[in-house]
């Protein structure tokens, strides 16, 4: 049986959806840098949930359609109180519903990839035994990992910008460049977790 390949120079790319969740975007230097770095990447859809749903009335059908149209789902947000801004929780409760994300007729997200991209104020050392946050970031993100797993999605190693409030402009630009590279690797299918 012959295998039909793509023409030389053409590769399959993942479609990436970035669900951005920040209630005070205009005040966030770190997230502005990250958003700016991915703004023009081909194959990436940017979905600002607070801009779209300031009243928290989420268009479930629209959001589910976006999920189905993309291969990689990125949730970019500040890490508020060891979790996410409240709109992301509301989004999860409504959009990842029984019959869609799990249960009878569900698991429509099976095999898609989930990346959590967060900004935190603390240092990397502050997350772990002996640090003031006591636990490694990977452990604090377990509820997100379990949600992805429950929906049949592959949870990827998170992108974390530490010391988001203290980075110099140069450090911020470097972190934003690294984030853009991460998104490109996800799109191109060569992301190393």
Helical packing angle, 169-188 and 29-38, nearest 10° = 40
Domain boundaries, the chain: 36-188
DSSP output for the chain: -----PPTT------EEEEE--TTGGG-HHHHHHHHHHTT-TTEEEEEHHHH-TT----HHHHHHHHHH-SEEEEEEE-BTTB--HHHHHHHHHHS-BTTTBSTT--TTTT-EEEEEEE-SS-GGGSSTTSTT-S-HHHHTHHHHHHHHHTTPEEPPPEEETTTTT--HHHHHHHHHHHHHHHHHHHHT----
Residues 5-57 pLDDT 10s: 444 444 469 999 999 999 999 889 999 999 999 999 999 999 999 999 999 99
Task: Tell me the backbone φ, ψ of residue 159, rounded to 5 degrees.
Answer: -95, 125
Fold of 36-188: Rossmann fold (3.40.50)
pLDDT in tens, the chain (193 residues): 333 444 444 446 999 999 999 999 988 999 999 999 999 999 999 999 999 999 999 999 999 999 999 999 999 999 999 999 999 999 999 999 999 999 999 999 999 999 999 999 999 999 988 899 999 999 999 999 999 999 999 999 999 999 999 999 999 999 999 999 999 999 999 988 7
């Amino acid at each position: 049986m012959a295998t039909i390949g793509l023409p030389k120079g053409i590769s399959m790319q993942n479609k990436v959806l970035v669900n951005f969740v920040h209630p005070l975007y205009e005040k966030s230097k770190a997230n502005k840098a990250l958003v700016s770095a991915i703004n023009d990447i081909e194959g990436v859809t940017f979905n600002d949930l607070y801009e779209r749903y300031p009243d928290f009335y989420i268009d479930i059908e629209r959001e589910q359609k976006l999920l189905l149209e993309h291969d990689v789902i990125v949730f970019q947000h500040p890490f508020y109180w060891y979790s996410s801004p409240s709109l992301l929780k509301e989004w999860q409760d409504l959009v990842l519903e029984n019959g869609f994300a799990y249960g009878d007729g569900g698991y429509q997200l099976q095999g898609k990839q989930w990346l959590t991209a967060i900004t935190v104020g603390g240092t990397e050392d502050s997350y772990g035994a002996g640090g003031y946050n006591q636990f490694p970031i990977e452990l604090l993100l377990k509820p997100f990992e379990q949600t992805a797993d429950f929906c049949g999605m592959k949870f990827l190693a998170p992108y974390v910008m530490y010391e988001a409030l203290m980075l110099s402009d140069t450090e911020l630009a470097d972190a934003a460049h690294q984030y853009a590279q991460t998104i490109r690797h996800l799109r191109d299918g060569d992301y190393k977790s």
